[in-house]
Amino acid sequence: MKKPATGRVLLSSAITLCVFSSMSFASSHREAPFIAGSPKVDGTDFYMFRSYEQNRDDFVTLIANYQPLQDAYGGPNYFTMDPNALYEIHIDNDGDAVEDLTFQFRFNNQYGQANIPGVVTNGEVDTGAGGVQVPLAAVGGGSNTTPGALNVVENYTVSVVTGDRRSGSAQPITAAGGNTSTFTKPVDNMGEKTIPDYAGYAQQFTYNIDVPGCNATGAKLFVGQRREGFVVNLGEVFDQISLNPLGARNSRSNTIGDKNVTSLALELPVECLTNGSDPVIGAWTTASKPQGRVLNPSPAGPTDNDMGKGPAVESGAWTQVSRLGNPLVNEVVIGITDKDKFNASEPKDDVENFGSYVLYPTLPALVEVLFGVPAPAPEGGRADLLAVFVTGVTTGPNDTPADFKFTAPANLTTPGEMLRLNTAIDPVIPGSQGYSDLGFLGCDLAGFPNGRRVTDDVVDIALTVAEGALLGENNLQTCDLSGDSPAVANGGAVVNDGALPDNSDYSVSFPYLATPIPGSPNESAATAVSVSSNL
């Protein structure tokens, strides 16, 4: 691990920039009025970290999650992606808050695909009056890793754009060897009867890929349903923080522990994401929809969308409707009248659009009213939050090249809210020596806010920072980087929500989030017969 030069984690001198920051204590679920009604394009979590799978530490994993709070039993349509949407992951590798690389995902959903000889043809069953369409997404039970005959198939493509996301040079990502640029998303985990071995089934859809402009090999791609990895006591947090945030840090209630999510995951060589001279990169995910939408009063079915016969016809320029870098920026910091505006914005415009929300945040003031914990109020505002979430963190008071730029770009020209990762810092495997789910507050510099691993407890980290950990206020835990190795500076408290990540709930290999919860257990045939005989 690269070691900082001197001192505690201090602030960038860019306080005068006065840009947007995050004090998140949860993730990005239903965070704005418009997006709450459009779950297919609602970005819920964004992760970026040095891969900690064995022999994969020269790679960076990027995971953009969409469609929040999925109940496993959510049939019959489950959680297909929107074929009329553009999902993107953006990389800024030169500090100007503008994308240098963009990975674009597009989906094509096909219906009426089930074929079982003598039973189903093109999704139709002969009931005596000709073929009649089956109403289910899968027909018949599976065996081993194969689901029943699928009646809905989701294919997708991924392109990499160099430069501006709309006017830059776009090239398709292909399966290794260049034989195809079309990939398939595994169907959601309907239940153990339809898909007895979902983990094995989904593994078939992890692709080795070739990325244009990237000479290194070994990149991977996966798109599909995963178990929700974010941990939060959601109900009590939003009920006026109806918990004891300064109590013992132990797991009492992970409200969303029984939910699934849809992940867009890439694992790419470090050298293909940096600019060659600066190890720090910034990233965020967005979703966009066409500007125009006309509802069809006489739809012919979803397969006819391209011919203007579907339920809706969408066309026009792409319009961004969702944005996510650091977790829960929009929910907790942005004022309610600006939430949709934030989702449509780009990091380069944060100073102008959202500067009024940064240096004098409302969350610490609310905590002070509710719990009597003094709200930090340094002269000039909360420059500590500015550094952690916007400009990046350095360890020196003068911000000179000799200082350790923990998450700060070497040449920051335009600050903006995004997740930042110093790719020169070695990964730390969850559960191993030096690991802490508190990230840099636990002196694990491979964790949040240096990127974000799936196991990082960003709720507790962000709450503790918001309440003054880096300022030395309220006797909160922080990290001393002045010695030969990082060490927890004191035995101070950790502001927490009563929900802790459990490393056993995650994978230690790509795509790191666990197998999704099944829609139902597999009841035996004998049980089914017994039930039917009593009807």
User: Per residue in 350-368, pLDDT tens?
Assistant: 878 877 776 777 678 877 7
Q: Which amino acid is at 494?
A: V
Question: Is residue 52 a contact partner of residue 295, using CB atoms and an 8 Å limit?
Answer: no
Question: Is residue 300 a contact partner of residue 342, using CB atoms and an 8 Å limit?
Answer: no
Residues of the chain below pLDDT 70: 1-36, 235, 237-238, 240-243, 301-309, 358, 362, 396-403, 483, 522-535
Structure tokens belonging to residue 94 = 């030169």
Question: Is residue 324 a contact partner of residue 452, using CB atoms and an 8 Å limit?
Answer: no
**Cα(256)–Cα(430) distance, rounded to whole angstroms?**
21
- Quick: pLDDT tens for 275-313: 999 999 999 999 999 999 898 888 876 654 455 567 888
Question: Is residue 119 a contact partner of residue 45, using CB atoms and an 8 Å limit?
Answer: no
Cis peptide before 76 (omega within 30 of 0): yes
Q: How many residues does the chain have?
A: 535
**Cα(251)–Cα(501) distance, rounded to whole angstroms?**
8
3-class secondary-structure state, position 445: coil
pLDDT for res 165: 97
- Tell me the CA distances in angstroms from 219 to 179, 212, 214, 371, 510, one per residue in order: 15, 11, 9, 48, 11
Beta strands in 163-234 (DSSP E): 169-172, 174-175, 183-185, 207-210, 219-227
Interstrand relation of 280-295 and 419-422 (parallel, antiparallel or unpaired): antiparallel
Interstrand relation of 312-324 and 219-227 (parallel, antiparallel or unpaired): unpaired
Q: Which of 151, 118, 122 is nearest to 136 (CA)?
A: 151
Judged by phi (left if over 0) then psi (alpha if -120 to 50, else beta), residue 316 lies in: left
Buried-exposed string 380-404: b where 16+ CB fall within 10 A, e elsewhere: ebbbbbbbbbbbbbbbbeebeeebb
**Cα(53)–Cα(55) distance, rounded to whole angstroms?**
6
Structure tokens belonging to residue 174 = 């292909």
Question: Is residue 306 a contact partner of residue 117, using CB atoms and an 8 Å limit?
Answer: no
**Cα(302)–Cα(176) distance, rounded to whole angstroms?**
32
Structure tokens belonging to residue 305 = 């969308």
